[in-house]
Amino acid sequence: MKAGGTLTALIEGAGFKLHWFDLGRRLQALPGPAAEAFEAGQASWPYPYLRQAWTGLLLQPAEGGEAVVWFLRFPLDEQGKLQLAVRDNLLHALAQGLKCGMRCEAAQQLDQVLKRSGLLYTPSMERRAAFHARTGMLLKRPASAHYGPVLDYIRKPDTHHWDTLALQGIADLAVRWKTEKALLLPQISRIAHPVFIHLCACLENEMIDQPLAETVKARAESILHSDTIPDVAMICAAVRACSHSPAKGLRHAFLLKLLQYPSTAQNVQLLTTLGSCCTTDLENPELARLWLNALANTEDQGAFNRLLSDLLFVPQVRASLLMVLRDPGQIEILAQAFGRFLHGPTLP
């Protein structure tokens, strides 16, 4: 395999159609032209996370048969582009196995090649479930056997046991939220906390509309305003569910409220969720300022360093964050945290 080839060309030459997905901050499909430009070293990965491209690759046979899934993590250079030496090494190693197609001994050989490459990774259970639900629909397969029990529970949460539900069934529901919205809207406030958390984690990968986002937000706000200590895991789940919604104004108002509410404004778990899942919302100068101030006020320098190292690598938000960080009028604790960040170790 000569240098300069692409994984797409190699896979398609073996009789498969290659579908690219990003699994970094959320599950999202990558259009073919964008993937090809990235593979060729001509364009940056559009969704960098921790300076890597966290991919899910679906290899769909052209003439029937079982699809193949690879989860590969590609290191990025300073411009967010693919490191071409890594690409060429992988292509060279895969070429021999693909000469015989992807059956039996050849498939086993490819598995060994991928393991030796150091590029394989294992996504979280929630991300894997969402990936299988999404790709199942792409391949026009029915939902898993776990989907029916989840629907039964959502319809009557008071008479069914939530702890018997499988995560895959919840992911199957999330990917079908449009057709099941009439069921979800009145029931979101009634489902058990663990089911709400898993459902929101799967809805993070969907562009839920304003009515559903409003319902999710309302449940989180009811927890926020209760007399007991707020369940931060529930609030973080709601943030995740709304993070990809086109209801941007609703989400911004929600995030502004959380960043000014005493019980959540300095919670590292919530601030990490916001920075990791609502990344592009930090283009908003007010949100960027409140988030950075809150993060500095936690006095958790490790979290500050990790999040800033990641986000300053994202072109869409780099400018807004630097504007706050370089403001002469910034609060003292933020100036100190940024100073330690500049002079201390960051992510490799």
166: tokens are 């499988």
Question: What pLDDT was estimated at residue 347?
Answer: 43
Q: What is the pLDDT of residues 257-316, one digit of tens each?
A: 999 998 889 899 999 999 999 999 999 999 999 999 999 999 999 999 999 999 999 988
Flag the least confident range among 94-98, 169-173, 247-251. 94-98
Question: What pLDDT was estimated at residue 306?
Answer: 96
Residue 5 pLDDT level (bands cut at 50, 70, 90): confident
Which residues make beta-bridge pairs with 73? 54
Q: Mean per-residue pLDDT for 158-182?
A: 96
Which of 334, 333, 332 has its CA nearest to residue 322? 334
Which of 306, 289, 287, 285 has its CA nearest to residue 297? 289
Residue 1 pLDDT level (bands cut at 50, 70, 90): very low
Say yes or no to pLDDT of 3 above 70: no
Q: Phi, psi at residue 62, to the nearest 5°?
A: -70, -25
Say yes or no to pLDDT of 104 above 70: no
Question: What pLDDT was estimated at residue 212?
Answer: 98
Looking up tokens 């994984």 gives 7
Question: What pLDDT was estimated at residue 14?
Answer: 80
Mean pLDDT over all residues of the chain? 91
- 215: how many CB neighbours lie within 10 A of its CB? 19
Say yes or no to pLDDT of 234 above 50: yes
Q: What is the pLDDT of residues 113-158, one digit of tens each?
A: 888 889 999 999 999 999 999 999 999 999 999 999 999 999 999 9
Amino acid at 160: H
